[in-house]
Amino acid sequence: MTPAVRQEVWAHPVSFATDPDRWAGELASWGATGVRLAHVYHSGRWLLSTTSPGRTVALPSGSWCPDTPGPWPVVDRDLLPRAVEALRAAGLHVIAWTVGLHSGAAVRQRPEWAARNAFGDPLAHALCPAHPGVVGAAADLVAAIAAREVDGIDLEAFAHLGHRHDGTHHKGEDRLRPADRWMLSVCFCRSCESAYSEVGLDPSQVQDHIVRAIGRQLAAPAVSGDTADDLTTALGTGVPALLAAVRAAAVELLLRRVAGAAGGTPLTLRATTDRWHTGGKTPGDPAALSALVGGLTISDLTGAGTLAAEWAAVPAPARATAGLVPGTGRRPDGAATAWYAFDLAPAGALAEALAGQPPSSGRAAPANQS
């Protein structure tokens, strides 16, 4: 008998606060084989579509696991264990959705671990992956989650994060190009400055180039071109590539520590081939990233149409999962899939996606997610 293709669904413990057995059973009946259940999560406001339609739930930044180590404060000790029990009783695998370095709560606990841009401003939502304290804390976090005997760990935001933080009101950023946003994500904490010096870069000079480039763009906005070309114009030939290499080396060290801490628990990393990405995905060569952690999740949760090209770059599709919003984009043939997300996407659209059916005629596609 051919084994069923993995069909996973992202979900949050709050969706199982009332009648968890019912909703776990529904997911199983729709064809889900596993749930990527939030264990550590950034802040958010979820407008629920299914369990309490129309209700808005404010989710604070932090951990939903009892006894979480490190700077991630425990938000609730009871919801997650109850949800896990119900999901397992329904025959579903439980994958721990773990948002690592994107955490305003963790930054408030350890402000010295924050990423810091060229203007000296700390990123209030982002831990720097080059800081030794962050590396150790992330490894401890993953070890603690693995000890809960989950069926896997979904690693989100285990890389450098950008200046932009959805959820706050950003003013003036419409003048920034992708290259400018990437430059604002370049960190100048002591750990990063030391790493720049080791490869022959002058941190003060790089910082000055970034400050001047952002000032020029804000004063007289230029049209965006190729991101690599725009970065070269701003920083000089070879400098963007060196900075990217330093960042990649820091993330590699982080991922090696995290993978070691996970023991035998399977990992899947949110990954992208976009070298200049500064969101929750880890940029890099898919083969190299897979060699570090094992599984990859290649996703398009915004309807940008990027999945097909990125999926084609995956060297071993059997170790990868395609991430999609129901009703947006096409699932790669035969691919294991993770759907975003239970209690956000309409229940009917999610059920159709899990069943491999096209969206019902007249059903609007869900709003883009990130």
Q: Which residues pair with 324 in a beta bridge?
A: 300, 339
Q: What are phi and psi of 243, to 5 degrees?
A: -60, -45
Q: What is the mean pLDDT of residues 169-181?
A: 77
Cα 37 vs. chain centroid, distance in angstroms?
A: 14
Confidence of residue 170 (pLDDT cuts 50, 70, 90): very low
Structure tokens at 354: 């899990």
How many folded domains does the chain comprise?
1
pLDDT of residue 303: 87
Between CA 235 and CA 273 the distance in angstroms is 22
Output the pLDDT for position 14. Answer: 98
**Pairing between β-strand 122-127 and β-strand 152-156 as defined by DSSP bridges:** unpaired
pLDDT band at 369 (very low <50, low <70, confident <90, very high): low
The per-residue pLDDT for 108 is 97
Q: pLDDT at residue 362 above 60?
A: no
> Is residue 270 domain-resident?
yes
Q: Is residue 297 part of a domain?
A: yes
- Band of residue 139 on the pLDDT scale cut at 50, 70, 90: very high
Question: Does residue 305 or residue 239 have the better pLDDT?
Answer: 239
Scored b (16 or more CB within 10 A) or e, 232-271 reads: bebbeeebbebbbebbbebbbebbebbbebbeebbbbbbb
Q: Is residue 311 part of a domain?
A: yes
Q: Say which CATH number the domain at 288 has.
A: 3.20.20.80
Least confident residue range of 18-22, 202-206, 363-367: 363-367
* 272, part of any domain: yes
- Domain assignment of residue 335, yes or no: yes
CA distance 225 to 215: 18
Indicate whether 219 belongs to any domain. no
Q: Is residue 150 part of a domain?
A: yes
Domain residues for the domain of 112 are 7-169+251-354
Asked whether residue 52 is assigned to any structural domain, the reply reads: yes
Q: What is the pLDDT of residue 329?
A: 77
The two tokens of residue 206 are 């790089």
- pLDDT 10s digits, 149-158: 999 999 999 9
Q: How far apart are the first and last CA of the chain?
A: 37
**Interval 34-48: pLDDT, tens:** 999 999 999 999 999
Q: What is the pLDDT of residue 168?
A: 53
pLDDT, average across residues 208-213? 99
In whole angstroms, give the CA distance from residue 353 to residue 356.
5
Q: Which of 151, 263, 244, 242 is nearest to 199 (CA)?
A: 242
41: closest CA among 57, 55, 58, 60? 60
